[in-house]
């Protein structure tokens, strides 16, 4: 082969092999980039959904906390109402207890005095005196 044509053919064949390899590598790189791009899009969708769920959870947590605070305030006011009622009833019970003790003392005094009235000669009902016949003279029968 004159003038180095053989070497040229070898170089051309090697160049074709390199071109084929570079096309395959380029094709593989394009598929890899495409796969990475798809996965990136899927991850973006998952992250978006996750963020929306987090935002929704934050809103629901805030709502729950607000409801808990409202219930706490309601319970506080109901507790105060119940405390006031118990205090009122406690005062009434103490008043009634004093009244019962006073009425019991008055009743005991009346019963005690009523028991002593006969001793002083006063009675609520007159005492009946039994009539007793004295001894009767014997009448002798005349026979």
Structure letter (DSSP) for residue 4: G
Note whether 123 and 117 are within 8 A (CB): yes
Mind listing the pLDDT tens digit for each residue in 74-95?
Answer: 999 999 999 999 999 999 999 9
Reduced DSSP (H G I as helix, E B as strand, rest coil) percent helix, strand, coil of the chain, to 5? 85, 0, 15
| Measured CA distances, 135 to 132, 138, 139, 142 (Å) | 9, 9, 12, 21
Mind listing the pLDDT tens digit for each residue in 94-136?
Answer: 999 999 999 999 999 998 888 887 777 777 666 666 766 667 6
The pLDDT value recorded for residue 138 is 62
């Amino acid at each position: 082969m004159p003038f180095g044509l053989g070497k040229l053919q070898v170089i051309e064949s090697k160049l074709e092999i390199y071109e084929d390899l570079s096309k395959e590598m380029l094709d593989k790189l394009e598929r890899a980039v495409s796969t990475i791009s798809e996965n990136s899009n899927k991850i973006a969708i998952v992250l978006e959904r996750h963020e929306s769920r987090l935002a929704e959870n934050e809103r629901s947590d805030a709502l729950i906390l607000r409801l808990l605070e409202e219930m706490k305030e309601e319970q506080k006011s109901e507790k105060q109402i119940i405390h006031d009622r118990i205090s009122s009833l406690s005062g009434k019970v103490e008043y009634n207890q004093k009244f019962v003790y006073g009425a019991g003392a008055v009743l005991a005094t009346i019963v005690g005095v009523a028991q002593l009235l006969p001793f002083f000669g006063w009675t609520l009902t007159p005492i009946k005196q039994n009539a007793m016949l004295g001894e009767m003279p014997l009448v002798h029968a005349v026979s």
